[in-house]
Amino acid sequence: MTVKPHVMIAEARFYDDIGDLLARGAVEALEEAGATFERIKVPGALEIPPAIAFGANRKEGPPFDAFVALGCVLRGETSHYDIVAGESARALIDLASTYGLPLGNGILTCETRAQALVRADPAGENKGAHAVRAALRLLDIKTVMGL
């Protein structure tokens, strides 16, 4: 893609420390790719899909070319984890597939905080950057397809 893509990062801030690490990795990857971006913060993972839908339909400001979902769901003592992890992922796939949105899913689903920190840390698994690369690759494919 020759034009700099404009990307929306939707960040769940339920776990601020994990969110900060994911965002740092994502921002570094976007800057490295020469993309512009806007960060939209939401309370939790279930609020990410509607925020992305709003961004895809925005009427003012530059349109978004791609989307990145960042957040974390940690297993707790109830079934809430299963609902949040499954429904947020399902909604993101539905948005991407139905509306042709280049979307990278960086919502971590982990058993423990320690697992999440390793996955979020730019010096570790850097899943924020992985989500950006996925979104930008899908944008490339969409462009090649003439969409």
Active site residues: 80
58: DSSP letter: -
Residues 6+ apart with CB under 8 A from 40: 8, 9, 10, 11, 51, 55
Helix 113-120 and helix 16-33: axis angle, to 10°? 20
Strand (E) or helix (H) holding 12: strand 6-12
